[in-house]
A and B are shown apart, each in its own frame.
Chain A
Amino acid sequence: MMHFSRAGSTSRMALGVRCAHMAGRFTVAGFILLGVVASQASASAFDRNVEHYRTQIAEDIGQALSGARRLRDCIAADDLEGAKKAWISARGGWERSEVFTSGLVPELDEKIDAWPKSTTGFHAIEAKLFGAQQTGVQSETDALIADLAELDAKLRDMPLPPQALLNGLARLAYEVGESKSDGGESRLSGTSLDDMRNNLLGISQAYHALFSEALAASDPALAAATQADIETLKALLDAPGLAAINSSHLRKASEAFVITLASMAPKINLQKPVLEEFGK
């Protein structure tokens, strides 16, 4: 048997201890935090799968990066419509990689996807392109390209611990159920629904690349239930527009999916996913 890539687990463990210490005598808080401690579960085919997943997210980040470079070219040519298209393409790649980015590269996530204080990143550019209808986003775009390039380089050899990826997956699954009645995060470009769909694609991609095989081997019924949850979410997001989404059904489906993921974790030798990022 191979073993999981455990790099990064030491600091995560230390963090878990710190958090548990903060929560002090509150055993329930300690219980909630149990999952923060990285899994010491035994090995699986995960190491092989994770390399496959790495190539997939490299493609997504590659799409984000090439979109951002195209955006720069369009800006230089003062092509507003082309710039908007390039932004949307870059955004799609980024949103699909969110399973991994929010937990494993929080410092880059903070710059690339800054919100609501968006002086840099996607939303700063979005506000000018889609809101103000102007292409004066040279410096923001250069910064975005630099950040995405750094992410692209980092991804090549950074450890991708399974627990962190399961955490990211569950966190994003919970987020998909958040109310978008205010227009959602990308409300100026009107692409919040695309964000959600790309999030779900990223979730599905990560689940299939990393966990579905192991789960099907240990609990086929649960594997089928997980797939059914993903399909339910997909169907709910298949709406003509954001306002047509049944948000109550979507919320229910997202929460049910997170609950399924929690019951899946022990079957693949991982801890219950933690729905928050505790940073470094």
Chain B
Amino acid sequence: MSAPNPRGSALLTRDPSVVTVGAELLADALAAQAVPVTAVDWRPPLPGTADALAAVLADARREAANKVAIERVLASTPHLVDVKPASEALGLTAGQFRHAGPPIDWARASGPMRGALIGAVLFEGLADSPEAAEKFLAQGHAELDSCHHHHAVGPMAGVVSPSMWMFELEDTTHGTRAWCSLNEGLGKVLRYGAYGSEVIDRLRWMSAVLGPLLRTAVRAGEPIDIRAIIAQMLQMGDEGHNRNRAGTLMLLRELLPNMIDSGAPTSDIAEAARFVGGNDHFFLNLDMPACKLAMDAGRDVPGSSLVVAMARNGTDFGIQVSGTGDRWYTGPAEVPDGLYLGAYGPEDANPDIGDSAITETAGIGGFAMAAAPAIVRFIGGEVDDALAATRRMYEITLAENPAYQIPVLDFRGTPTGIDVTKVVRTGILPQINTGIAGKVAGTGQVGAGLVTPPADCFVAAIEALAEATPPIG
């Protein structure tokens, strides 16, 4: 038996100040003795998880493992280093496609996922009509896999084909890379499942003009520090998921001089500048791979209950956890609650879709809602709701990111690193800001709003973590 060790205890030397959880009577008895009491608003954990939760919390590796994992996440330094076609970036060959969320096949794919795949098949010239493209896909000629399995992320349907151009980011701390496609803008766009001719034409222009121009500009300068831009945009009213206006303009500020110096036709440069500057979401496709790099840095720490990915394919919502490798824990994706464009309504909405929840996984987006009061009405709420939403996320996260600060919360760091045990204990689900895709293939965006993952993902994850724990005692 080892010797007792009371060195950390202030119990007998300090006037008691007590945190209570449970019976109110006992808290009242303390208050009556002039003791400061902070009472916890306790609720039971998600149903059926008590044993698994206790097993995971008792895992002697957990605290240190989570510390290691979250420190790696916070240490990540994403830089934009190149722009290149997916054939080079991901090594994609004809007939290979990547998509958002956990793996899915054509049969289970939702409308917008199907629409985006149809568009990509048309764009790659593998079929000459939407019907032919659909047949091509239904017959299993395309090889589909998750972006997440290839160090990549894609917003909404997240469909990537070999000829599409991608941003290449490097985490200069960990020496890792991640990729994301270029953002097409809003409305009728491939990622929302639209595949009309204007969609395909735009993709062709992006591959022919925008991509090469961006490549020239990026290669001409120093790697661009994406973390520094995110840090600044959070202080300029962006939250990095549904609002990226400041980030987009800061990126343009970095790139434009080199674009002009490139010697490309001024009409191309002007069009590219107009396109980027006119698309408030252009920077989303840099937020996302930056967040992907951060979360990949936290992967594969045995015993860690850190969520390293949240992603949706339009049918399933899936999460991955540091301590259990590449395993997905899935549940049915839910329809977001939000505002709709024009005549669209909830009945037109597809369930939640996209890899963009990587932003919330890394502590921005919905988790930084308090930084973006300008959009709280758009996603249905008042400024107080935004503050409350961010505050609530501190309950389920492991750290506050010192690089990403929220002015209105006294420059408190954003709540970063979702801990499965905390979600299960409190029943507080991560808040995700998201766009809403039309459920019929070819429709495009119908709205934007808020969504949470299904609780089942976290119940499955805590059970798997419990199975992976060594016996206690």
Q: Do A and B associate with each other?
A: no
Query: Which residues of chain A have a CB within 8 Å of any CB of chain B?
Result: none
Query: Which residues of chain B have a CB within 8 Å of any CB of chain A?
Result: none
